[in-house]
Amino acid sequence: MIKIDKVSFSYGTRSVLHNVSLDIHKGEIVSLIGPNGAGKSTLLLIAMGLLSPQQGNIRVNNRLLKEWSSRDFAQYCAFVPQNPYLPPAFTIWESVLLGRTPYLNFLGLARKKDREIVKQALRWVEIENLLHRKVSEISGGERQRVVLARALAQEPECLFLDEPTNSLDVHHQVTLLSFIHRLAEEKQVTVFIVLHDLNLASTFSDRLILLEDGLVVLDGTPGQVMGNEKVLSVYRQSITVFNRPDEESRPAVLPVRMYDK
Ligand SMILES: Nc1ncnc2c1ncn2[C@@H]1O[C@H](COP(=O)(O)OP(=O)(O)OP(=O)(O)O)[C@@H](O)[C@H]1O
Ligand SMILES: [Mg+2]
């Protein structure tokens, strides 16, 4: 579904990704983890064609990115960025309706079907009560859910998300990722997601990719990656890994306190 082949990328002279290759299969949830500055957001932007690598290439559904028209790509893939922009004067309804842009005709008019899909997306992320509110009048977590609803309104077959759970409370973190899990399982949506929370990544991913300084250090199931000593050295942080009785293949981690006597 998404094939990243020997990708290297630099911002000017700053080399950020080195010969990265990854295959993400249809209906799979792949989480990108790693320290700040490792290159996670950059890799996601490259996988979506929003940045062009100096070397290597990306195929989505067996087609090179440059062979996609922007309208076709927007019907196929949706993106939830790390720092999304929403026009502050827009209402929540108008903001989510933007997700239907790739489907509108040349007059740009929303049809009944478009409105139904927007309503459904608002219900999915539990913000239907905010419909008439302005973007400037909602909280950070609500904003994040508006951006997700906008992406869902695109009815994508692949979903790219950059730290979508950051400002969410635990209920909305779990609701959002459970919902994404269901999309992957039932509708075979392919999900490529950056997550900082290792426990959420372990709980909801089929595969974890650990990135360090632009290199793929580990690529495996949550059990394979969380149990690997490299996780400690990459984060420069001691952690304790626990096996969960309820989910044996999805270990949990806790940090070990520093500066103790
Ligand atoms: N527009 C840019 N111009 C120059 N350097 C950049 C730019 N964006 C990011 N970088 C640098 O590239 C490296 C990778 O950045 P990136 O945003 O991909 O990291 P990340 O893994 O997503 O980090 P975080 O967890 O903090 O979001 C960092 O060293 C960062 O400072
Ligand atoms: Mg980032």
Q: Per-residue pLDDT tens for 139-186?
A: 988 998 999 999 999 999 999 999 999 888 899 899 889 989 989 999
87-141: per-residue pLDDT in tens?
999 999 999 999 998 888 777 788 899 999 999 999 988 899 999 999 999 998 8
Lowest mean pLDDT among 18-22, 205-209, 230-234: 230-234
For the segment 3-29, the average pLDDT, to the nearest whole number, is 97
Alpha carbons 31 and 28: distance in angstroms, whole number:
10
For ligand 2, the distance from its centroid to the CA atom of residue 223, given in whole angstroms, is 24
For ligand 2, the distance from its centroid to the CA atom of residue 51, given in whole angstroms, is 14
Alpha carbons 198 and 255: distance in angstroms, whole number:
11
pLDDT given for residue 23 in this prediction: 96
In a domain, 54, yes or no: no
Phi, psi angle pair for 254, to nearest 5°: -130, 140
In a domain, 104, yes or no: yes
Alpha carbons 155 and 149: distance in angstroms, whole number:
10
Substitution candidate for ligand 1 out of 7, 40, 50, 80 with most atoms within 8 A of CB? 40
Burial of 235 (0-12, 13-18, 19+ CB in 10 A): middle
Residues with CB under 6 A from ligand 1: 11, 14, 16, 34, 36-42, 82
pLDDT given for residue 67 in this prediction: 94
In a domain, 70, yes or no: no
For ligand 2, the distance from its centroid to the CA atom of residue 157, given in whole angstroms, is 23
Question: What's this model's pTM, rounded to 2 decimal places?
Answer: 0.93
Q: What share of the chain is helix, strand, coil (3-state, %, to 5)?
A: 40, 25, 35
In a domain, 97, yes or no: yes
In a domain, 257, yes or no: no
Enclosing domain of residue 97: 83-155
pLDDT given for residue 179 in this prediction: 87
Q: What is the mean pLDDT of the chain?
A: 93
For ligand 2, the distance from its centroid to the CA atom of residue 116, given in whole angstroms, is 33
CA dist 43 → 7, 74, 114, 174, 193 (Å): 9, 18, 31, 25, 11
In a domain, 160, yes or no: no
Which residues lie near ion ligand 2 (Cβ < 5 Å)? 41, 82
pLDDT given for residue 175 in this prediction: 87
> In this structure, are residues 238 and 256 in contact, taking their beta carbons and an 8 Å threshold?
yes
Total domain count, the chain: 1
In a domain, 78, yes or no: no
Euclidean distance between the first and the last CA atom of the chain, given in angstroms as a whole number: 51
In a domain, 72, yes or no: no
> In this structure, are residues 146 and 122 in contact, taking their beta carbons and an 8 Å threshold?
no
* Percent of the residues in the chain that have a pLDDT greater than 90, as a whole number: 75
pLDDT given for residue 259 in this prediction: 74
* 163 CA closest ligand 1 atom index: 27
Q: pLDDT at residue 82 above 90?
A: no
pLDDT given for residue 248 in this prediction: 84
Q: Atom 6 of ligand 1 has which residue's CA nearest to it?
A: 11
For ligand 2, the distance from its centroid to the CA atom of residue 34, given in whole angstroms, is 10
